[in-house]
Amino acid sequence: MPRTADHEQRRRQIADAVSLLISEDGLDAVTVARTAAAAGMSVGLVQHYFRNKDEMLLHAFREISARIRGRVEARIREGVEHRRPIAQVMAEVMTEYIPLDRARRAEYRVARAFAGRALDAPALAEVDTETARKLREDIARAVHNGKECGEVDEHLDPLPAAVRLAAVMEGLALQVYREPESAAGTGVAQFVAPLLDDEIAAVFTGECRQYEGRAAHPRRRPQ
């Protein structure tokens, strides 16, 4: 009997195949047969894990959301480990959602395709809603932590600040995606870092007390 790890690997292969088909040819290109071919599996093996296209799509949406989420959590852990200003970590986190390179562009196309289908698919809508909620919670938590350390004014309400920053990030992501030729430093993409800096600076107006008496920490501009 295949090990659990084998089952998980096959499910990831199928999710990757679904994402590849969507990124190249759109959501309508996904069929069980084409997914099996892209994954290097038989149709029967794919159907062993997923009974139909909708189940495959739901799993793939969860996988790509988890992949982005994993990168975000890694950014946060790294920021905590290296004691970076929260504002800097937030800039890094938010750019993970913006299609500034080929890999993120493919992810964004897939996520948008799923979000569109989610309008009429409650299971996909649940994943879409949960992903957005976690992002707002991340930002709100960062604002709350900023209030405790001095980077954010103590009277600022974290939730509307989080909604504002999430809306700016989502808008920038869409603007960048609409320019196929856009890359870091060109087109709309060249405005992403300064615009994010401006919006984050409007919320994170102070300096964390742990940096008092130390040299200023330049914000690294993520790409």
Q: In the numeric block, which tokens belong to residue 209?
A: 């007390």
DSSP string, 136-196: HHHHHHHHHHHHHHTSS-TT--HHHHHHHHHHHHHHHHHHHHT-TT--TTSGGGGGHHHHH
Domain extents in the chain: 1-51, 66-211
Average pLDDT over residues 100-124: 89
- Please report the pLDDT score of residue 213 as a whole number: 53
- What's the pLDDT at 103? 87
Q: Which fold has domain 1-51?
A: Arc Repressor Mutant, subunit A (1.10.10)
Name the percent of the chain lying above pLDDT 70.
Answer: 89
Tokens in use for 107? Answer: 């992810």
Name, of 80-94, 112-126, 155-169, 185-199, the range with top average pLDDT.
Answer: 155-169
Looking at per-residue pLDDT, the higher value among 11 and 214 belongs to 11
Task: Enumerate the H helices of the chain as residue ranges.
Answer: 4-25, 32-39, 43-49, 53-81, 86-95, 102-117, 122-149, 158-177, 192-203
pLDDT at 3: 63
What is the fold, at CATH topology level, of the domain defined by 66-211? Tetracycline Repressor; domain 2 (1.10.357)
Sequence-separated (6 or more) residues with CB below 8 Å from residue 45: 10, 36
Q: Which of 1-15, 102-116, 151-165 has the lowest mean pLDDT?
A: 1-15
Model confidence at 204: pLDDT above 90: yes
pLDDT in tens, 132-189: 999 999 999 999 999 999 999 999 999 999 999 999 999 999 999 988 665 556 688 8
